[in-house]
Amino acid sequence: MDKQKQLTNKIGRRNFLKAGAAGICTFCLAGIYGCAPEEDTREETPQDGAEIGSKKGLIKTKPSPWYTRLEGGKIRCDLCPKLCELEEGERALCRVRENRDGSCYTLVYGNPALVQEDPVERKPFFHVMPGSRALSISTAGCNLACQFCEVWDMALVAPEEVHAYDMPPETVMKHAGAGEVRSISYAFGEPVIYYEYMSSVADRAKEAGLLNLMHTAAYINPEPLKEILKKMDAVNVDLKGFDEDFYREYVGGELETVLENLKIIRDSGIHLEITTIVIPTLNDDMETIGKMCRWIVTELGLDVPLHFARFYPLHKLSGLPRTPAATLDEARNTALGVGLKHVYVARVTGHEGEDTFCPECGEKVIEREGFVIGALKLRAGSCEYCGTELPGLWG
């Protein structure tokens, strides 16, 4: 492995955010800039002392098509169910969409606050190109307000508050080529927020023969969702619980919206996985988890991979304990008991729930430890022992 890839693999999310230009710019973006500026660069305000490529402040903006003009110069953002109505100069709740002269602008086009290459299993996608590497990009901002947000220092702030990079879609693809990745992942932060940027990168990724993978809370209006799904190969949806009150109080959204969007994703025919972080005392009730699993079986199908992820105390829920492994075991057994075929336990390294088993013969077909693949007993997506086909994108 060359020195550039060694360094890339060592940089984590927090190191990236805190390092400024001393982070990713110095090893993976050097030599691939020189891109033409966007039409609007009036907010460019580089951080004092920062190296070239890393700035605080708005770097680039771009008009968004997802809005409606209202009377008196107001607009309504139509991207997500919040439907923010904005006066001139006002920003939406997500912090990254603004009314400028009666038009809606995204403030984070080509401004990733995170660029990270790592195993596709980390996204998490367990049924997509096992053992391959994905390049993830994400920006500041979010249209939800999860009290257990794991990237709150990037997602729940304005774009001016983080270091971001001048990284248009062409530059993302040069980076992907240098890293020899198999997919582009729109993950860690909420990709709905940088919809236009994601869409542009996805077009170029398809041209380059790379997969497009989206990990999202699926809090988006139906029409923009249907449009972006045309460019995606796989989606992992954070289904954060199965109780309306929980969604309103701890997530800042409506559960029914997410459920309807899961059906839209199912109907699109692209590969779908689901992740639920199990939070002690808040969404770990087994009766409710069972209800959620039965809904998945009925509305989405038996083959949808479901990941139960361990909660770690942070952000506004730092006073809660991490999820006991026994609770995750119970959740997994509940899901298997109602008929789901592929149920995983995430963030408990060495747990049997990290492995993939053939639902027909019961043999282990993918062995994992953390994000590392061990034995792989699949041939063209089918079990080597009995020939049963498993759902996914296997390469």
Q: What is the full per-residue pLDDT of the chain (395 aa) written as tens digits?
A: 443 333 333 333 333 333 333 233 323 333 222 222 333 333 333 333 333 366 787 888 999 999 999 999 999 999 999 999 999 999 999 999 999 999 999 999 999 999 999 999 999 999 999 999 999 999 999 999 999 999 999 999 999 999 999 999 999 999 999 988 999 999 999 999 999 999 999 999 999 999 999 999 999 999 999 999 999 999 999 999 999 999 999 999 999 999 999 999 999 999 999 999 999 999 999 999 999 999 999 999 999 999 999 999 999 999 999 999 999 999 999 999 999 999 999 999 999 999 999 999 999 999 999 999 999 999 999 999 999 999 999 98
For the chain, how many residues are written? 395
Closest CA to 21 of 58, 56, 52, 60: 52
Tokens standing for 80?
Answer: 């997500």
Closest CA to 307 of 243, 240, 212, 373: 240
Report helix, strand or coil for 121: helix
How far is residue 90's CA from residue 138's CA, in Å, rounded to a whole number?
Answer: 23
Q: Which domains does the chain have, with CATH numbers?
A: 62-106 (no CATH), 114-383 (3.20.20.70)
Residue-level pLDDT at 5 = 37
Phi, psi dihedral angles at 149 (to 5 degrees): -60, 130
How far is residue 109's CA from residue 41's CA, in Å, rounded to a whole number?
Answer: 12
377 within 8 A of 364, measured Cβ to Cβ: yes
Residue-level pLDDT at 60 = 86
Helix (H) or strand (E) holding 268: helix 255-268
pTM of the model: 0.87
Closest CA to 86 of 141, 252, 97: 97
Sheet (strand 75-77) strand order: 67-69, 75-77, 85-86
CA atoms within 13 A on the CB side of 5: 13
Residue-level pLDDT at 41 = 33
Residue-level pLDDT at 205 = 98
Residue-level pLDDT at 59 = 82
187 within 8 A of 237, measured Cβ to Cβ: no
Residue-level pLDDT at 395 = 82
Phi, psi dihedral angles at 224 (to 5 degrees): -65, -30
